[in-house]
């Protein structure tokens, strides 16, 4: 279960309680089963979103991000960057999103949770899932 920051940030979004509940449930399940994965770039994005978009105090944001850093974290190195750029060009994705997709592929994830890419999109054995669509958390 690979997480994009767009889903993780919803864990603290009191303005959208359905999304918050769904995100927390997914994170709790992934954490308990040891299947939670994220990229280092995703953790940086999460910190920025918590502080800038949700006005979470920096020390609290840091604690939340470091809790996620206990998961399997895929580092962004030059090989991942190159593969992400190739994927971005091939699928016309923003580079940040392509790096996330490539990190999930590299980690061997079968599911990437993100709320802003095409639900159901597949890249080999990886499927993008928007957890906020459908009865568990309609938009």
Q: Is the dihedral of CA 2, 4, 5, 7 positive or negative?
A: negative
Q: Which residues pair with 3 in a beta bridge?
A: 113
What pLDDT sits at residue 135?
54
Residue 35 has pLDDT above 60, yes or no: yes
Question: What is the reported pTM?
Answer: 0.91
- Residues for the chain: how many in total? 139
**Whole-angstrom distance, CA of residue 34 vs CA of residue 93:** 29
42: nearest Cα among 128, 113, 91, 123: 113
Query: Using a CB cutoff of 8 Å and minimum separation of 24, what contacts does 54-60 make?
Result: 54/9, 54/12, 54/13, 56/12
Which tens digits make up the pLDDT trace of 19-28? 999 999 999 9
If you average pLDDT over every residue of the chain, what do you get?
Answer: 93
CATH number of the domain at 2-129, out of 3.40.50.20, 1.10.150.130, 3.40.50.1010, 3.40.50.1110? Answer: 3.40.50.1010
- Using DSSP's 3-state secondary structure scheme, residue 75 falls into coil
Query: Does residue 93 register a pLDDT over 70?
Result: yes
The answer to whether 58 and 51 have CB atoms below 8 angstroms apart is: yes
Q: What is the DSSP letter of 14?
A: T
Q: Cβ neighbours of residue 132 under 8 Å, at least 6 residues apart? A: 10, 18, 19, 22, 115, 138, 139
């Amino acid at each position: 279960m690979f997480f994009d920051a767009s889903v993780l940030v919803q864990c603290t979004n009191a303005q959208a309680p359905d999304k918050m509940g769904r995100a927390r449930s997914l994170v709790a399940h992934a954490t308990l089963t040891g299947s939670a994965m994220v990229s280092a770039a995703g953790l940086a994005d999460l910190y920025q979103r918590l502080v800038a978009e949700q006005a979470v105090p920096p020390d609290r944001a840091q604690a939340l991000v470091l809790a996620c850093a206990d998961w399997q974290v895929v580092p962004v190195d030059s090989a991942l960057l190159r593969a992400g750029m190739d994927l971005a060009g091939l699928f016309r994705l923003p580079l940040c999103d392509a790096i996330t997709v490539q990190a999930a592929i590299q980690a061997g994830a079968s599911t990437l949770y993100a709320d802003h890419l095409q639900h159901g999109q597949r890249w080999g054995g990886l499927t993008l899932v928007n957890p906020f669509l459908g009865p568990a958390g309609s938009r």
